[in-house]
Amino acid sequence: MKSFEKKKNIKPVKTEQQQYSVFFAKLNTPVVFGLFIFILLFFYLQKQLAFHFYYIEQEQLFLWSRAYFLSFIIKPAGLLQWLTEFCVQHFIQPYLGALIMSVILTAISILAAGIIKRIASTANLHILSLLPIVFLLYMHFDINYLYEGTVAYLLMLLVMYGYFCIGNFLPRIIYVTVSGILLFWCAGPVAFLFTVCVFLWEILNRFSKAFVFILPILLVAALAFVGVYTSLADNYRLLLLPDGYYTRQLHPGTEIYLSWVVLPVILLLCRLFSKRQHTGRKRKYAEYLLQLMSVAVLFGFTIEKFTDRSYDFFKEFNYYTRNGQWDKIIERCDEGVNNYLHLNFLNMALIEKGELAEKMFSFPQGGLQGLTVTWNMMPHISALQSDIYFSIGHIALAQRMAFEANVSMQNSNGAMLKRLVQTNLIYGAYPVAEKYIDLLEQTKYYSEWAHEHRRFLWNDYAVENDALLGMKRKCIPVSNTLIEEQNIHIDMEYIAIQNPAHQASIQYVGALFLLTKDILLFRELLEKHYGTDVLPTLPKSYQEAIIIVTEQDPSKWEQFNISEQVIQRYNEYKKQVLDNRGNAALPNLLKASFSDTYWYYYMFYKL
C-alpha cells in the first residue's frame, strides 16, 4: 500500500488542524524564527536608528590594507575591533546599518536559541533567546557604546555553543581553557563572561568536577592582570566587564550589564526546567506566546528608561550637514527649535543658503550660543564648530576644530579628515593634505572623494579655480593675526572685506551683533560697509535693526534704503506696543504677527 502511494505520488489529505501543526512545526525551525526576528529588527532599527548609524560610522575609519589589519591583530581584542570596524564602515550607506546590525543581533538570538535547545530542549524556553538582543539593543542608542560589545557577544555565544556540544570532561575543560584565552585575545572582556557562565553551568550540572572550571576564569583574570600591568588598559573593569565596550574615558550606565546578567539567568532557568516532560503543542505555543509577550512588554516598558533620545536630532542634522541637505535642516526646524544645538545647525544651514540675515528671525533665536555654542572640548561640538567656521570662511578655526574633533575620535573621523584635506589644500599645505588623502584613499567609502581631491595637490591654479576651495582660499587673511575667539567679529569682518563675494562672513558678523543686541557696533558695521561690495543691500533683519538704531532720526531710513513694507510693519508694531503699554500679555500679542522680526527679539529675548 505504501509503495503504491509513493508511486502515484498521492499524499494523504490533512485535516485543518494537522495543517496548522505543520505550519507551527516549521515556524519553530531556526530559519523561520531567525527570519522573523531579522525582519522585525531591520524595520525597527531602520526606523529608530537610521541617523544613529550614519553618526556612528564617523567614529572609526576602516582601512583596506594589510598593515592596518596587522596593526589590530597584534593587540588584545584587536581582531574584534577590526571586525567591528569592517562592519561599521558600511553604515554610511542607507539601510546597511540596520541590515548589518539586524544580521548580527539575529545571529545572537539564533545562537542563544540553539544553546537553549541543546541544554533544555523540552523546557519551551526558546523565546528567552530574545532577551540578550533586547538588552543589547538599549546600548545601540548610545553614541558612546562601542559596537565591539555586540560583535563580541556573538563570538562568545558561538564559542559557548561549541562548549555545549562537547560531552566528555577532558575535552570540555581543554576547550574552555583554550577558547577562553583565545576569546580574551580576540574579543576582550566577553571571555570572562564565557568562563563564568561555563563554571556556573558545571556547578549546576556536575558539581564534583565543576571546580576545575575555575581554572579558565583564573587564566582570563591573569591575562587581565597582565593587560593592566602592561598598560594595555587602565583598569580591570575594562578587561573583564562590558565597560570595555564603552568609550574609555566614560562610565556606562547600568544598562550595559543587562545583556551580561541575563545570560547566566537563562542558563539557570534552562537548568531548572531541563528535566521537564514534553508538553502538548497547544501548551507549548501558549508558553511561547506568553514569553514573547513578556519580552515585548519588557522591551516596551524599559526602552524609554534605558535609552537617551535627546541627541536624535543632532545625529539627524549631522547627517544632513554631511550631505549638504540644508533645506532638510530648515524644514525640520520649521517643526520647532528646542535648543542651542538646533539653532547652530539651523543658522549654519541659513548661512550656507545665503539666507541668514534675511530669515534668521523667522525662527526663535537664542543669543550668541544659538549662533555658535561654547566649545566644551567634546568631539561632536568640535566637529559642529568646524562645520560652522568652514561655512563662514574662518579657515584657521575650521581646521583647528576639525583637528580637535579628529584627535578626540582616535584620528578616525572620516568627515573631519575630509575637512582637514580641504583646509590644508586651501592653505596650500599640500604634503599634509596628501597624507590625509592617502589615508582616505585606503577606505571604501571616502576613497573616491579623496582621489578626486588629489588633483589639487601642488596645483594652486586648480585650488583657486575650484568653486568651493577657491572661494575659501580667498577667505584666508593676507596679513596674519592671532585668533582671539572673544573677538572673532574682528577676524570675520576682515575676511568679509577681503573676500566680499563670500557673503556668509559679513552675515555672520551682522548676526553676531544682532543676537548680542550690540546695535551700536552693528550700526558702525553698516555705516562702514553698506553700499560697498561687502554689503551691497540690506537684508530684512538688518533693515529692522537699523530702524531701532535710527528711530529718532527717520531721515536715515532713506539713506539705508529701508523698504516701505518694513517701515509700515514697524509702525504697526510700534502702535501695538504703545496701545498695550503695561499689558503683561504684550509679548504674546506681538508674537502672532511680529515674532519673525528683529524688534520682537530685541524687545523680549533676555541675554
Query: Given the rule CB under 8 A, which residues bind other proteins?
Result: 63, 67-68, 228-235, 248-249, 377, 382, 394, 396-397, 399-400, 403-404, 407-408, 410-411, 427, 429, 431-432, 434-435, 438-439, 476-484, 491
Residue with Cβ nearer other proteins (270 or 488): 488
Residue with Cβ nearer other proteins (502 or 569): 502
Amino acid at site 430: Y
For the chain, the residue count is 607
SS3 426: helix
Q: Which residue has the cell 553698516?
A: 526
Q: How far apart are CA 36 and CA 29, in angstroms?
A: 11
Residue with Cβ nearer other proteins (148 or 491): 491
The least distance separating other proteins from the CB of residue 492, rounded to whole angstroms, comes to 11
Phi, psi of 145 (to 5 degrees): -75, 135
**CB-side exposure of 583: number of CA atoms within 13 Å?**
12
Contacts of 318 (CB under 8 A, 6+ apart): 51, 54, 55, 58, 380, 383, 384
CB-count exposure of residue 270 (10 Å: 0-12, 13-18, 19+): buried
The least distance separating other proteins from the CB of residue 240, rounded to whole angstroms, comes to 16
The least distance separating other proteins from the CB of residue 22, rounded to whole angstroms, comes to 41
Residue with Cβ nearer other proteins (180 or 244): 244
Residue with Cβ nearer other proteins (387 or 544): 387
Amino acid at site 46: Q
The least distance separating other proteins from the CB of residue 500, rounded to whole angstroms, comes to 18
SS3 151: helix
CB-count exposure of residue 239 (10 Å: 0-12, 13-18, 19+): buried
The least distance separating other proteins from the CB of residue 244, rounded to whole angstroms, comes to 12
The least distance separating other proteins from the CB of residue 501, rounded to whole angstroms, comes to 19
Residue with Cβ nearer other proteins (97 or 227): 227
The least distance separating other proteins from the CB of residue 441, rounded to whole angstroms, comes to 11
Residue with Cβ nearer other proteins (48 or 498): 498
* Most distant pair of Cα atoms in the chain: their distance: 112
Instruction: Tell me the C-alpha to C-alpha distance, in Å, between residue 48 and each of 138, 300, 520.
Output: 12, 14, 47
Residue with Cβ nearer other proteins (81 or 307): 81
Q: Which of 100, 70, 80 is nearest to 151 (CA)?
A: 80
The least distance separating other proteins from the CB of residue 372, rounded to whole angstroms, comes to 16
